[in-house]
C-alpha cells in the first residue's frame, strides 16, 4: 500500500482531485489551484487542513455509492489532515432537495438519531475512528435566530434557486416548491462557516450547496472560503445510471463478501474506471497503469475486474474474505460448479414456476421473475425454465441468474 505521506504536493493534489467532476473546466482548474495553494499554506504553517463532509442520515441501509465521499475523507486522513464526519441531524429534518424532483419527506428526530448511529458504524469500515471527529449540525443551526436567517438569506436570490434543475422541473410541471426547501443550501453553507472548513466534499448534486452557498456565506461571514471537492456519481451495476436501491442496481455495504464480489464482477467494463477512481485505495499512477495495460492489450479486462473486485471487497471484509470470495466466484461462475451450501425451499403442492421464484425470495417482484424467465436466466438443474404459469417441475437445484441458488425439496 502506497504511503501517501511520502507524496509530493503535486502528487497529493492529483490523488485528492481523482474522481472529481465539476461540469466546468475553469471551475475544476480553479479548485485544483486553490487546493494546491491551501496545502502549501498548511505545510508552511505546520497545521492540518480541516476537511469535512456532511451526511444526512435518511437511511441506515448504505450501498457503495454512499461510500464515495468517505473514501475521499480517508485519503485526507492518510495525508495527516483533520477529518470531520458531520451528521446532519438538523438538515435531515428538512431533507436535501438537491438530487430530487419532488418534495422529500421530513424525518422525525428519533428516525434521524437511529439512522445516524448505524450510518457512522458503517462509515468506520472506511474511516479511521480514532482520527475522525463526529459533529452534529444541530449544535449551531438550532441556535440561529430569525434575524440570523434573514441576514444569511440576503445573500441569495429567488432566481438562483429556481434555475436549479430539480426546482425548475417542478415549477414547469406546476408542482409545489416549498419555501423551507430553499433553506437547505443556506444551512449547509452555514455548516461550512461554523466548522471553519478548509475543504468540503460532496457529490455533483451538491455543486450549488458547496460552490455557491457555502463559499458565498463563508466570505460574507469573514472567513476564507472553503475548497470544493466535487465527486462524480458512481454508476450502478448496470453501468448507466446512479447507484440506487430503488433502481435495484446497488451493491449493499453489508452484503456478504461473495455477493459483493459477484455483483462487482457483473459491472460493465465501461464503468470500471469510475469504480477504480471512486471506491479503491489505488493512486492515479496505479490506475493509469491498469487502464493503459488494458488499452494496449497487455492486461485482460476480466483479470483487472477481478483485481478491482478483490480490492473493494477487502476494504469491507478483509483480504482473507476477499480471497475466499474470489475462489467462490471462480468455482461457481467460471467453472460452473454448484456451491456446497445454499438455502432450502420446501415445494408446496400446485405451485407454479413464478410462485416458487417469489416464495423462495429468488426475485423481488412478479415482473422481475417474468423478465428473467424470458431471458432464459432460470434453471432447474440443466433444464431452462421459461413459462411462469407452468407447474414447478419438482425438487432440484434452482438457479436464477449467475449468483442465486436454492435447493428445492419436496
Q: pLDDT of 148-194, one tens digit each?
A: 999 999 998 887 777 776 777 877 788 877 777 788 889 999 999 99
The full set of domain ranges for the chain reads 4-231, 257-334, 344-409
CATH class in words for 4-231? alpha beta
Q: Is the Cβ–Cβ distance between 203 and 233 less than 8 Å?
A: yes
Q: What phi, psi does 352 have (nearest 5°)?
A: -85, 170
What average pLDDT values come out for the chain (410 residues) when binned by 10 residues? Answer: 80 96 95 97 95 81 90 96 92 58 59 77 88 92 93 87 74 78 87 96 90 92 95 92 86 90 92 96 96 93 95 95 92 70 88 94 91 88 86 90 86
The x, y and z cell numbers of residue 70, run together, are 468517505
Q: Is the Cβ–Cβ distance between 152 and 182 less than 8 Å?
A: no
Mean pLDDT value across the chain: 88
Does domain 257-334 match CATH 1.10.240.10? Answer: yes
Q: 85: closest CA among 72, 94, 102? A: 72
Tell me the CA distances in angstroms from 82 to 2, 10, 133, 191, 200, one per residue in order: 20, 20, 8, 16, 12
What percent of the chain has pLDDT above 90?
58
The x, y and z cell numbers of residue 263, run together, are 455483483
pTM for the full predicted model: 0.77
Please, what's the b/e burial string for 29-40 (b: 16 or more CB within 10 A of its CB; e: otherwise)?
eebbebbbebbe
| 3-class DSSP assignment, residue 141 | helix
Q: pLDDT of 51-62, one tens digit each?
A: 999 987 766 678
| 3-class DSSP assignment, residue 133 | strand
As a whole number of angstroms, the distance between CA 142 and CA 92 comes to 12
CATH class in words for 344-409? alpha beta
Q: Give the Cα-Cα-Cα angle 179, 184, 190 (nearest 5 degrees).
A: 130
Residue 306 CA, distance from chain mean position: 20
Amino acid at each position: 500500500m502506497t504511503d501517501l505521506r511520502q507524496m509530493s504536493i503535486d502528487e497529493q493534489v492529483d490523488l485528492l482531485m481523482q474522481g472529481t467532476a465539476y461540469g466546468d473546466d475553469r471551475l475544476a482548474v480553479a479548485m485544483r489551484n486553490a487546493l494546491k495553494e491551501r496545502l502549501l499554506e498548511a505545510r508552511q504553517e505546520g497545521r492540518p487542513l480541516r476537511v469535512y463532509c456532511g451526511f444526512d442520515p435518511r437511511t441506515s441501509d448504505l450501498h457503495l455509492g454512499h461510500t464515495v465521499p468517505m473514501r475521499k475523507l480517508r485519503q485526507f486522513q492518510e495525508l495527516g489532515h483533520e477529518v470531520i464526519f458531520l451528521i446532519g441531524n438538523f438538515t435531515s429534518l428538512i431533507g436535501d432537495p438537491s438530487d430530487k424532483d419532488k418534495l422529500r419527506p421530513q424525518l422525525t428526530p428519533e428516525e434521524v438519531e437511529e439512522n445516524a448511529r448505524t450510518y457512522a458504524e458503517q462509515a468506520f469500515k472506511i474511516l479511521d475512528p480514532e482520527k475522525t471527529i463526529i459533529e452534529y449540525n444541530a449544535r449551531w443551526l438550532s441556535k440561529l435566530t430569525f434575524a440570523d436567517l434573514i441576514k444569511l438569506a440576503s445573500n441569495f436570490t429567488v432566481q438562483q434557486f429556481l434555475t436549479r434543475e430539480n426546482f425548475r422541473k417542478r415549477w414547469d410541471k406546476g408542482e409545489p416548491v416549498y419555501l423551507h426547501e430553499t433553506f437547505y443550501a443556506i444551512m449547509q453553507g452555514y455548516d461550512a462557516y461554523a466548522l471553519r472548513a478548509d475543504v468540503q466534499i460532496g457529490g455533483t448534486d451538491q455543486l450549488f450547496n458547496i460552490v455557491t452557498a457555502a463559499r458565498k456565506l463563508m466570505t460574507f461571514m469573514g472567513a476564507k472560503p472553503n475548497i470544493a471537492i466535487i465527486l462524480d456519481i458512481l454508476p450502478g451495476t448496470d453501468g448507466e445510471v446512479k447507484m440506487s436501491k430503488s433502481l435495484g442496481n446497488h451493491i449493499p455495504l453489508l452484503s456478504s463478501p461473495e455477493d459483493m464480489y459477484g455483483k462487482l464482477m457483473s459491472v460493465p467494463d465501461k464503468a470500471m474506471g469510475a469504480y477504480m477512481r471512486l471506491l479503491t485505495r489505488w493512486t492515479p499512477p496505479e490506475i493509469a497503469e491498469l487502464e493503459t495495460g488494458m488499452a494496449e492489450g497487455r492486461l485482460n479486462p476480466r483479470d483487472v475486474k477481478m483485481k478491482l473486485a478483490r480490492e473493494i471487497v477487502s476494504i469491507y471484509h478483509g483480504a482473507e474474505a476477499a480471497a475466499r470470495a474470489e475462489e467462490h466466484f471462480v468455482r461457481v461462475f467460471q467453472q460452473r460448479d454448484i456451491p456446497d451450501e445454499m438455502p432450502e425451499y420446501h415445494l408446496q403442492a400446485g405451485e407454479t414456476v413464478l410462485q416458487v421464484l417469489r416464495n423462495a425470495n429468488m426475485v423481488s417482484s412478479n415482473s422481475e421473475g417474468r423478465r428473467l424467465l424470458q431471458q432464459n436466466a432460470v434453471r432447474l438443474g440443466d433444464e431452462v425454465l421459461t413459462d411462469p404459469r407452468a407447474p414447478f417441475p419438482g425438487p432440484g437445484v434452482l438457479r436464477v441468474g449467475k449468483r442465486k441458488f436454492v435447493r428445492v425439496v419436496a
